[in-house]
């Protein structure tokens, strides 16, 4: 790549880091791929069409791997399912995916509603609901209870505090620039991140040890994973188990909290959407019924189309692959720009409009709509995330009459740690309790 092209590619990387949705949506009408040069990762060739998404998502595992280095590795660890490739990925996924089956995840909807009720219990008319902060508290409490089965309030607060501090310590600079990861006499950003990660690992070791000593497995995800083996009869090593649990804590709640915040934002921007959600909620009485509501589910799906929390899907090729007619060589990194794909005018009618009805009238192709990735690397928690979002949104709206407390320019999505997040806090005013 010549110097001018390199400078342009680096400029695109900076723009993508500052405003990922805006940058990638700008390419929604592009049919040709475009390149972005990411520091540490190299040149990525992005595709925005259905053909490109299909070729990348259906590529055999033998032809591609997770692109490394990855900025989230300091938090989740090198053994995270997100970062593994090849046989190691297949074996780990065979252990981790079964506990997240739809029928098992539906058993947790009452717990999701309970966590939501607890978080909003103190709100009164005239109060202002800080949506992002509330969403993070709800989804973190849910993952601590669902994954680890932690019922003791003090222990849950301990898990929550350490996880929050770990994620906050992973600044964008530290995540994206590996040479900043240096311990300076036990001080500095890297030392803080390592210290919080160690604290979380100590809590995880205690929880795992208690389960193993007592023999009490319970019905949470940790219990199912401890009993699970791959097709060769092997379970996860302790090092792998820690990395997978850290991944579930970090990625599992950050992505859901962002989607919850965006969904509440859009619902209270459009009276028609809000009224239809309320009318539908009036027909049900239990969290399980709430999780199955078609329009509420469509609101969740439309939120994920407009604001995919992880906006890019990447693969590093280990063999030659043709993507949308473009010949790509071993070592190349290819990607799907989800905001561009989700706003492609060839695939979506009026893509700039927040319209949940598009998901009632048609079921999009997995190569047209991929908020959870796809293929053999699709997010194992996708089904649970959809239920969690529907129940949390439904519980909040059934209990609180809310209204937008802010006007003017809407927030944009910005890169923060593992997921993108709204650039500013979204605030809703509590009008009344129902």
Taking residue 334's Cβ as centre, other Cβ atoms within 10 Å add up to 25
Task: Say if residue 342's pLDDT is above 60.
Answer: yes
pLDDT reported for residue 218: 67
Q: Tens digit of pLDDT for each residue in 114-141?
A: 999 999 999 999 999 999 999 999 999 9
Rounded to 5 degrees, what angle do the CA atoms 108, 110, 114 make?
115
Is the pLDDT assigned to residue 319 strictly greater than 50? yes
Sequence spans of domains, the chain:
3-433
Mean pLDDT estimate for the chain: 89
What is the rounded distance in angstroms from the CA atom of residue 127 to the CA atom of residue 296?
25
Contact predicate 208/222, CB 8 Å: yes
pLDDT at 393 over 90: yes
Say whether 403 sits in a helix, a strand or coil: strand
Query: Is 379 marked within a binding site?
Result: yes
**∠ CA(341), CA(306), CA(170), 5° rounding?**
95
Fold for the domain defined by 3-433: Cytochrome p450 (1.10.630)
Provide the pairing of β-strand 333-337 with 42-47. parallel
Confidence of residue 279 (pLDDT cuts 50, 70, 90): very high
In the predicted model, is pLDDT for residue 248 greater than 80? yes
User: What is the pLDDT confidence band of residue 419, given thresholds at 50, 70 and 90?
Assistant: confident
Q: What is the pLDDT of residues 78-112, one digit of tens each?
A: 999 999 999 999 999 999 998 888 777 778 999 99
From 7-11, 25-29, 100-104, 412-416, the region with the lowest mean pLDDT: 7-11
Q: What is the DSSP letter of 269?
A: T
- The confidence score (pLDDT) of residue 374 equals 95
pLDDT in tens, 165-179: 888 876 555 555 554
């Amino acid at each position: 790549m010549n110097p001018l092209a390199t400078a342009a590619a680096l400029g695109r990387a900076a723009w993508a880091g500052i405003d990922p949705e805006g940058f990638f949506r700008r390419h929604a009408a592009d049919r040709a791929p475009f390149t972005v040069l990411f520091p540490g990762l190299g040149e990525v060739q992005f595709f925005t069409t259905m053909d490109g998404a299909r070729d990348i998502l259906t590529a055999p595992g033998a032809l591609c791997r997770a692109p490394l280095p990855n900025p989230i590795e300091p938090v989740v660890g090198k053994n995270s399912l997100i970062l593994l490739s090849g046989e190691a990925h297949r074996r780990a996924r065979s252990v981790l995916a079964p506990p997240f089956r739809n029928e098992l995840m539906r058993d947790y909807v009452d717990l999701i509603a309970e966590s939501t009720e607890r978080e909003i219990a103190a709100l009164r008319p005239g109060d202002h609901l800080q949506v992002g902060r509330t969403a993070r508290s709800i989804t973190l409490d849910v993952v601590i209870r669902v994954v680890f089965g932690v019922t003791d309030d003090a222990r849950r607060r301990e898990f929550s505090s350490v996880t929050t501090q770990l994620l906050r310590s992973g600044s964008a600079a530290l995540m994206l620039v590996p040479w900043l990861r240096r311990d300076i006499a036990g001080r500095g950003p890297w030392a803080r991140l390592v210290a919080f990660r160690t604290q979380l690992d100590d809590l995880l070791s205690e929880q795992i040890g208690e389960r193993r000593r007592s023999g009490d497995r319970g019905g949470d995800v940790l219990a199912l994973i401890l009993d699970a083996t791959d097709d060769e009869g092997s379970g996860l090593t302790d090092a792998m188990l820690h990395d997978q649990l850290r991944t579930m804590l970090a990625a599992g709640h950050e992505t859901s909290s962002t989607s919850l915040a965006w969904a509440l934002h859009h619902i209270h921007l459009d009276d028609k959407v809000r009224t239809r959600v309320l009318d539908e909620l009036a027909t049900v009485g239990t969290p399980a019924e709430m999780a199955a509501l078609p329009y509420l589910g469509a609101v969740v799906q439309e939120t994920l189309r407009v604001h995919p929390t992880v906006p890019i899907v990447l693969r590093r090729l280990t063999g030659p692959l043709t993507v949308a007619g473009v010949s790509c060589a071993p070592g190349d990194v290819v990607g799907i720009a989800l905001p561009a794909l989700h706003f492609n005018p060839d695939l979506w009618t009026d893509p700039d409009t927040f319209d949940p009805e598009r998901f009632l009238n048609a079921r999009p192709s997995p190569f047209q709509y991929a908020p959870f990735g796809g293929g053999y690397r699709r997010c194992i928690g996708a089904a649970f995330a959809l239920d969690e979002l529907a129940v949390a949104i439904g519980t909040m709206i059934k209990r609180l009459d809310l209204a937008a407390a802010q006007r003017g320019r809407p927030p944009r999505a910005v890169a923060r740690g593992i997921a993108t997040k709204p650039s500013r806090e979204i605030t809703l005013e509590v009008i009344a309790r129902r």
